[in-house]
């Protein structure tokens, strides 16, 4: 198998980086679909860290967790896109900024 | 040594894709960048002895979820370029970037400082001799069987939910509410 | 008998309570008889307790009865209790006695008044309050009575409150009294903080431990309180105006009882005054002497029959304060008792005259009334002789005693007292001659009989009273027995009360021996030769006689025509004291009040409003955080995560 001495830290740092990029993207973009993609990015970052820990701790539970995260992410995407479709039917060109009725 | 190489290449692809997601004007470009990231993640999974997951990642995530995204993008016509140079909310962009940076710095510091504190499992050690699929299958269908069943129910619910949310309503159905529930866009202004 | 102490104030209180609810139904005159019976019963109870107290040995002459714990608050333990010792029982005796007589008198005087029963409601309440003042065993019960009599005085002065002047007089009395009340309260607070107790027995026991400064402060504050209640120099303005009330009120409250409250307080607190600086008695004496003299000069020029008596009361109260200042507590109490008798008599007599003259109060319209109102005339003359200081009537003995002590303290003060005595004789004689002797001025129309009075009345738009007949005459008549009987009783008392304390032989100094346990601290030791005593007494008689003679010459025989010089405007207008106060309050006083009101409005209220508007503005700014945009909220959440990470890090690192 592939042998290396990378350890956990670089993978975790990468995971943190991807997560931060996803968070920043979520805050910056207005388009609903792009924001959703940023969420997926964050989920993937978390998956990566799970797998890293699984290898580090010699525990298969981490990989099982990733499996379930994947399933849930899929379900979530389905429902989320359904919502987006139904919103866009009413208001084509809606962005996240259109929800401002609760302005104080 | 090899793993380092793999890690660096995979990592670079991931990061490049991530930046592409958040920085593209065109949402189709964002989706494709996300595909790149997902492939990079899959490579990294393989590097960490999680072959099954790598395969699942490519099939499910890159193969179906992104396709779904692209379906919706095309359907709704939001592939038009979005005006991203100016943010209508003042300060949001800088604050967002600052928040992201600070988040990374914080997390990074925690990672660098903290030792990995978990304890190895007694029941689920990774045995590199046995194929990964078999091991994961054994885990899912014994220890995590309940979660497995629940997630399958969840998938069904998701399907039903998506269908009911996204269907077109027609006036012919007797038990239908007249019109959609959403108010007209010009009624809801601040 | 000791257990019946509570009956003394309880009976008038019961009378008050009953009459409040059923007085109107009882109507005239049953309400009056009930009230008189209540106070009469109180008098009998007082006599019973007095006899029982007399039976005790001198060292044991002190009964206390505690009804209930009134204020058990931390270190302050105040009970509703009564202290019966020689001083308080003496005061209770003449208060209840004179009050009974005046209640009887009022039945006749207030005949026909639509608010008949309400009058007796207030009178009974007043007697109750006065008894609480006198019988209380601590400063707070006395203060309860003090305030009560002040309130009743207000209610009774403005009894006929349809007239603006009467209502104002009541307010003036109340406000001026209030200034005194402030002094009393502060004295009470200081006493408590210095001695830890406000009960009289406690004060007597603990007073040697008072530092001179504290005792001086307490004494000054008590003196302010006494000035307010007893109408001494700066605060006497309310008493002449209080004559707007019905005459029985003037007799009871403003002659015999309420105004003696101040003297009683100072006598009660004499242990504290003994510990105070030596200038305190001087201050009391000087204020008393000046008040006596000034009030006497004003009385000389008054034409209203009641105003003369009002200023006379102020003057006699000045004598009592002069006595206290000279260390003659017994003489002060003695004069208080004799004054109560003859002043009440004089007031009731003047009320009888007013009643007989169908409401006319100006003396220039009276004259030669002694034939038509014989009983009133004779009793009034007895009262006159008493106040003028003609032996053997009561006034001579008490006034002489005071002047003796004053001479021992300071000849100047004695001179002031002596001149006041002459003036007292003069103006009282003037009053008697104008009212009861000389030519009648009421059997002709007003313009003929008393031209200046007619001119005055025309100028101020006052019309003739309803008692005036068709051809401008008044027909005076003697009053009913309910009014003349009290006059007779009081005349008897005024005649013989001197026997209480004839100072010539030790055996006859009954009052002094009686009061000894209470007043022992401060009674000045008199080391005056007998020759001086006799000489001063003779001088006093000569002075009184000369005042009388002068009045005879001016007003009866009309030999000397100095009336106008004597009755000069300075005296008639009360040394312009009232108008000075009015212009001060209207001028600089008003400016000060407005400044305080402005301060309150802008700074005090402003501070509160500023806090409120500050909160409003702060929240208006804070409201802007709610932009309504989801992305802003997401940003806030992200920043929150950053903060938590930082916190975790700081915990881990440091």
Residue pLDDT, tens place only, A36-77: 999 999 999 999 999 998 888 888 888 999 999 999 999 999
Taking contacts as CB-CB distances below 8 angstroms, the residues of chain C near A27 are: 631, 634-635, 638
Average pLDDT over residues C364-369: 82
Question: Cβ distance C274 to C521 under 8 Å?
Answer: yes
**Least confident piece of the model among C216-225, C526-535, C624-633:** C526-535
Alpha-carbon distance B96 to nearest alpha carbon in chain C (angstroms)? 6
Question: Do the Cβ atoms of A96 and C638 come within 8 Å?
Answer: no
DSSP class of C112: T
Question: Tokens in use for C48?
Answer: 């019973």
Task: Report pLDDT for C44.
Answer: 93
Please name the residues in contact with C162: beta carbons below 8 A apart, sequence gap of 6 or more: none
C474 compared with C609, residue with greater pLDDT: C609
Global pTM value: 0.67
Which residues of chain B make contact with C649, given a CB cutoff of 8 A? Answer: 106, 109-110, 113
- Please report, rounded to a whole number, the percentage of residues in chain C having pLDDT higher than 70: 93
| Side-chain half-sphere exposure of A20, counting CA atoms within 13 A | 21
Chains that touch B (3 or more CB pairs under 8 A): A, C
The better pLDDT of the pair C286, C395 is held by: C286
Question: Would an 8 Å CB–CB cutoff place C630 in contact with chain B?
Answer: no
Provide the pLDDT for residue B187: 45
**Is the omega angle on the peptide bond into residue A100 within 30 degrees of 0, that is, cis?**
no
Contact residues on chain B for C647, CB-CB shorter than 8 A? none
User: In the predicted model, what is the mean pLDDT of residues C78-95?
Assistant: 89
Helices (H) and strands (E) in chain A, counts: 3, 0
Query: Exposure string (b/e) for B135-149, b if CB count within 10 Å is 16 or more?
Result: bbeebbeeebeebbe
Residue B190, pLDDT score: 40
Query: What are the residues of chain B with a beta carbon less than 8 Å away from any beta carbon of chain C?
Result: 89, 92, 95-96, 99-100, 102-103, 106-107, 109-110, 113-114, 190
Closest residue to A102, CB basis, from C626, C635, C638: C626
The alpha-carbon gap from A4 to the nearest alpha carbon of chain C, in Å, equals 30
Question: Residue B152 pLDDT more than 50?
Answer: yes
**In the prediction, which pLDDT does B172 show?**
46
Asked if C447 and C349 touch (Cβ cutoff 8 Å), the reply is: no
Q: Is residue A14 part of a domain?
A: no
Name C440's bridge partners.
none
What per-residue confidence (pLDDT) applies to B65?
A: 93
Chain segment B11-35, per-residue pLDDT in tens? 999 999 999 999 988 889 999 999 9
Nearest Cα residue to A27 out of B72, C622, B98: B98
Q: pLDDT: is C506 or A19 the higher one? A: A19
- On whether ipTM exceeds 0.85, the answer is yes
Q: Per-residue pLDDT averaged across C55-60, rounded?
A: 76
Given a cut of 60, whether residue C370 has pLDDT beyond it is: yes
**Cα–Cα distance for residue pair A96/A25, rounded to 1 Å:** 13
- The whole-angstrom separation of Cα A81 and Cα B71 is 10
Residues 65-94 of B with CB under 8 A from A: 65, 68-69, 72-73, 75-78, 82, 84, 87-89, 92-93
Mean pLDDT over C559-582 rounds to: 74
In this predicted structure, what is the pLDDT of residue C272?
Answer: 87
B37 to A18: CB separation less than 8 angstroms, yes or no: yes
Chain C residues near residue A26 by CB distance under 8 angstroms = 634
Average pLDDT over residues C359-378: 84
Confidence of residue B104 (pLDDT cuts 50, 70, 90): very high
**Residue A97 and residue C625: Cβ atoms within 8 Å?**
no
Query: Average pLDDT for residues C331-353, to the nearest whole number?
Result: 89
Nearest-Å Rg of the Cα atoms of chain A is: 18
C241-267 residue pLDDT tens: 888 889 999 888 877 777 788 889 998
- A101: burial class by Cβ within 10 Å (0-12, 13-18, 19+)? exposed
The answer to whether the CB of C347 falls within 8 A of the CB of C255 is yes
Q: Using a CB–CB cutoff of 8 Å, tell me whether C653 touches chain B.
A: yes
Give the total number of structural domains in chain A.
Answer: 1
**Tell me, what's the pLDDT at C408?**
83
Residue C85, pLDDT score: 87
Q: B44, A34: Cβ pair inside 8 Å?
A: no
Pick the more confident residue, C410 or C474: C410
Measuring CA to CA, which residue among C329, C297, C307, C272 is closest to residue C87? C329
pLDDT of amino acid B188: 44
Instruction: Determine whether the interchain pair A104/C634 forms a contact, defined as Cβ–Cβ distance below 8 Å.
Output: no
pLDDT of residue C576: 78
C635–B92 C-beta distance less than 8 A: yes
Q: Whole-angstrom Cα distance, residue C449 to residue C578?
A: 31
Query: Taking all residues of chain C, what is their mean pLDDT, rounded to a whole number?
Result: 85
Residue C617 clears pLDDT 90, i.e. is over it: yes
The whole domain housing A38 covers 30-92
Dihedral, C458, C461, C466, C467 alpha carbons, nearest 10: -30
* Tokens 């600089």, located at residue: C588
Q: Round the average pLDDT of chain B to a whole number and report it.
A: 82
C-beta atoms of C632 and B89 within 8 A: yes
CA–CA–CA angle C572, C577, C581 (5° rounding): 140
Rounded CA-CA distance B36/B162 in Å is 27
> In the predicted model, what is the mean pLDDT of residues C370-397?
86
Is the backbone peptide bond immediately before C392 cis, with ω within 30 degrees of 0?
A: yes
Q: Are C160 and C109 in contact (CB under 8 A)?
A: no
Exposure string over C30-57, b if 16+ CB within 10 A, otherwise e? ebbbbbbebbbbbbbbbbbbbebbeeee
Q: Please enumerate in sequence order all residues whose Cβ is within 8 A of that of C183, keeping only pairs 6 or more positions apart, or say none.
A: C220, C221, C222, C223, C224, C225, C226, C227, C228
The per-residue pLDDT for A79 is: 92
pLDDT digits (tens, 9 = 90+) for B46-72: 999 899 999 999 999 999 999 999 999
Distances, alpha carbon B98 to alpha carbons A23, A37, B94, B103, C635, in Å? 11, 20, 6, 8, 10
Percent of chain A with pLDDT over 70: 95
How many angstroms separate the CA atoms of B168 and B12, rounded? 43
Tell me whether A26 touches chain C (CB under 8 Å).
Answer: yes
User: Looking at chain B, how many residues does it have?
Assistant: 190
- Distance CA(C311)–CA(C240), nearest Å, equals 6
Query: Do residue B92 and residue C648 have CB atoms under 8 angstroms apart?
Result: no
Distance from CA of B9 to the nearest CA of A (A): 12
Which comes out higher in pLDDT, residue C230 or B51? B51
Confidence of residue C526 (pLDDT cuts 50, 70, 90): low
At residue B12, the pLDDT reads 96
Is the Cβ–Cβ distance between C424 and C313 less than 8 Å? Answer: no
Name the band, by pLDDT with cuts 50, 70 and 90, for residue A1. Answer: very low
Contact C123, C36 (CB under 8 A): no
What percent of chain B stands above pLDDT 90?
Answer: 44
- The reported pLDDT for the residue numbered C199 is 87
Instruction: Tell me: pLDDT of C499 over 80.
Output: no
Are the C-beta atoms of residues C318 and C289 closer than 8 Å to each other?
Answer: yes
Question: Are C638 and B99 inside 8 Å of each other by CB?
Answer: yes
In this structure, are residues B15 and B31 in contact, taking their beta carbons and an 8 Å threshold? Answer: no
Q: Do A63 and B22 touch (CB under 8 A)?
A: no
At C31 the pLDDT is 87
Quick one: average pLDDT of B102-108?
Answer: 92
pLDDT interval class at B84 (50, 70, 90):
low
Are C223 and C270 contacting, i.e. CB atoms less than 8 angstroms apart? no
Q: Is the pLDDT of residue C508 over 80?
A: no
Q: Which residue of B has its CA nearest to A10?
A: B7
Mean pLDDT over C316-327 rounds to 90
B136 contacts in A (CB within 8 Å)?
Answer: 60, 63-64, 67
- Write the pLDDT tens digit of every residue in C183-222: 999 999 999 988 888 888 888 888 888 888 888 999 999 9
What confidence score (pLDDT) does residue B173 get?
44
Average pLDDT over every residue of C472-483: 76
Which of the residue ranges A32-46, B121-135, C277-291 would you say has the lowest mean pLDDT?
A: B121-135
For residue B148, the model assigns a pLDDT of 94
pLDDT at C587: 81
Lowest-pLDDT range of A31-45, C72-86, C497-511: C497-511
Q: Do C635 and B96 touch (CB under 8 A)?
A: yes
Question: Inter-chain contact B95–C631, Cβ cutoff 8 Å?
Answer: no
A3-16: b (≥16 Cβ within 10 Å) or e: eeebebebbbbbbb
Q: How distant is the Cα of B141 from the closest Cα of chain A, in angstroms?
A: 11
Sign of the dihedral through C-alpha B53, B54, B59, B62: positive
Q: What is the mean pLDDT of residues B90-105?
A: 89
Per-residue model confidence (pLDDT) at position B90: 73
What does the pLDDT average to over C384-396? 84
pLDDT for position A74: 92
The three-class DSSP label of residue C372 is: coil
Residues from chain B that touch A90, judged by Cβ atoms under 8 A, are 180, 182, 184-185
Q: C637 touching A, CB under 8 A?
A: no
Q: What is the full DSSP assignment across C33-53?
A: HHHHHHHHHHHHHHHHHHHHH
Q: Which chains touch C (3 or more CB pairs under 8 A)?
A: A, B
Specify the 3-state DSSP secondary structure of A95.
coil
Rg (CA), chain C: 30
The CATH class given to the B1-82 domain equals mainly alpha
Is the per-residue pLDDT at C380 higher than 60? yes
Q: First vs last Cα of chain A: how many Å apart?
A: 60
The two tokens of residue C504 are: 């010539």
Query: What is the C-alpha to C-alpha distance for residues B68 and B82, in angstroms, rounded to an integer?
Result: 20
pLDDT at C640 over 60: yes
């Amino acid at each position: 198998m592939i042998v290396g001495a990378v350890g956990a830290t670089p993978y975790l740092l990468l995971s943190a980086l991807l997560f931060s990029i996803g968070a920043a993207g979520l805050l910056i973009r207005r388009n609903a679909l792009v924001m959703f993609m940023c969420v997926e990015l964050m989920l993937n970052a978390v998956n990566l860290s799970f797998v890293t820990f699984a290898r580090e701790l010699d525990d298969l539970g981490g990989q099982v967790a990733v499996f379930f995260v994947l399933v849930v992410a899929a379900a979530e995407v389905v429902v989320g896109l359904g919502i987006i479709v139904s919103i866009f039917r009413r208001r084509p060109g809606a962005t996240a900024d259109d929800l401002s009725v609760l302005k104080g | 040594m090899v793993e380092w190489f793999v890690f660096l290449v995979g990592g670079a692809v991931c990061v490049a894709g991530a930046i592409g997601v958040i920085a593209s004007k065109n949402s189709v470009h964002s989706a494709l960048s996300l595909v790149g990231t997902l492939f990079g993640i899959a490579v990294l999974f393989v590097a960490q002895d999680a072959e099954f997951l790598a395969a699942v990642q490519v099939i499910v995530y890159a193969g179906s979820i992104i396709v779904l995204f692209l379906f919706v993008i095309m359907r709704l016509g939001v592939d038009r370029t979005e005006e991203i140079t100016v943010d209508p909310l003042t300060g949001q962009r800088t604050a967002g970037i600052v928040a992201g940076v600070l988040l990374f710095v914080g997390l990074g510091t925690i990672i660098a400082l903290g030792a990995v504190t978990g304890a190895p499992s007694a029941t689920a050690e990774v045995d590199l001799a046995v194929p990964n699929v078999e091991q994961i299958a054994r885990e899912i269908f014994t220890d995590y069987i309940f979660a497995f069943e629940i997630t399958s129910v969840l998938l069904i619910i998701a399907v039903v939910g998506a269908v009911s949310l996204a269907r077109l309503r027609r006036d012919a159905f007797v038990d239908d509410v007249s019109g959609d529930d959403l108010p007209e866009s010009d009624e809801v202004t601040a | 008998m000791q257990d019946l102490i509570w009956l003394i104030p309880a009976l008038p209180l019961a009378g008050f309570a009953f009459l409040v609810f059923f007085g109107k139904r009882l109507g005239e005159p049953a309400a009056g008889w009930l009230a008189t019976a209540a106070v009469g019963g109180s008098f009998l109870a007082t006599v019973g307790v007095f006899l029982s107290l007399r039976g005790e040995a001198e060292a044991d002459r002190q009964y206390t009865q505690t009804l209930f714990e009134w204020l058990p608050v931390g270190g302050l333990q105040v009970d509703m209790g009564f202290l019966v010792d020689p001083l308080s029982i003496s005061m209770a005796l003449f208060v209840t006695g004179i009050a009974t007589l005046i209640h009887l008198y009022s039945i006749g005087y207030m005949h026909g008044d639509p608010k008949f029963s309400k009058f007796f409601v207030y009178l009974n309440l007043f007697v109750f309050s006065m008894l609480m003042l006198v019988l209380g065993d601590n400063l707070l019960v006395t203060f309860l009575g003090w305030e009560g009599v002040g309130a009743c005085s207000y209610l009774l002065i403005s009894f006929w409150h349809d007239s603006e002047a009467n209502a104002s007089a009541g307010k003036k009395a109340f406000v001026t009294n209030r200034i005194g009340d402030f002094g009393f309260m502060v004295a009470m607070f200081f006493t408590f903080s210095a001695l830890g107790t406000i009960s009289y027995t406690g004060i007597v026991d603990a007073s040697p431990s008072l530092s001179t400064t504290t005792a001086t402060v307490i004494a000054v504050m008590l003196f302010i309180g006494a000035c307010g209640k007893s109408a001494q120099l700066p605060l006497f303005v309310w008493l002449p105006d209080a004559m707007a009330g019905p005459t029985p009120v003037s007799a009871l409250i403003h002659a015999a009882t309420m105004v003696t409250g101040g003297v009683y307080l100072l006598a009660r607190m004499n242990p504290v005054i003994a510990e105070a600086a030596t200038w305190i008695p001087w201050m009391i004496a000087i204020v008393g002497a000046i008040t006596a003299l000034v009030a006497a000069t004003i009385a000389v020029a008054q034409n209203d029959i009641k105003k003369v008596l009002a200023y006379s009361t102020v003057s006699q109260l000045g004598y009592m304060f002069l006595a206290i200042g000279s260390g003659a507590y017994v003489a002060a109490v003695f004069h208080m008792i004799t004054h109560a008798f003859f002043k009440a008599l004089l007031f009731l007599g003047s009320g009888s005259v007013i009643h007989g003259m169908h409401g006319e109060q100006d003396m220039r319209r009276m004259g030669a009334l002694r034939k038509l109102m014989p009983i009133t005339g004779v009793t009034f003359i007895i009262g006159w002789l008493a106040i003028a200081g003609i032996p053997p009537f009561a006034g001579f003995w008490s006034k002489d005693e005071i002047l003796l002590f004053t001479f021992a303290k300071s000849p100047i003060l004695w001179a002031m007292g002596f001149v006041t005595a002459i003036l007292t004789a003069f103006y009282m004689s003037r009053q008697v001659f104008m009212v009861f002797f000389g030519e009648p001025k009421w059997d002709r129309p007003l313009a003929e009989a008393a031209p200046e009075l007619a001119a005055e009345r025309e100028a101020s738009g006052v019309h003739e009273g309803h008692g005036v007949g068709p051809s401008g005459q008044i027909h005076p008549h003697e009053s009913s027995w309910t009014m003349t009987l009290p006059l007779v009783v009081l005349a008897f008392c005024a005649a013989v009360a001197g026997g209480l304390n004839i100072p010539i032989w030790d055996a006859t100094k009954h009052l002094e021996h009686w009061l000894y346990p209470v007043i022992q601290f401060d009674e000045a030791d008199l080391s005056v030769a007998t020759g001086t005593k006799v000489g001063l007494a003779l001088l006093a008689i000569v002075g009184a006689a000369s005042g009388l003679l002068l009045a005879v010459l001016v007003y009866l025989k009309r030999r000397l025509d100095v009336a106008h010089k004597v009755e000069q405007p300075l005296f008639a207008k009360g040394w312009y004291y009232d108008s000075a106060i009015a212009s001060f309050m209207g001028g600089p006083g008003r400016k000060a009040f407005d400044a305080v009101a402005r301060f309150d409005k802008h700074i005090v209220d402003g501070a509160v409003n500023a806090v409120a508007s500050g909160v409003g503005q702060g929240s208006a700014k804070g409201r802007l955080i709610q932009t309504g945009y989801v992305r802003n909220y997401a940003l806030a959440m992200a920043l929150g995560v950053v903060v938590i990470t930082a916190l975790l890090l700081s915990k881990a690192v440091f």
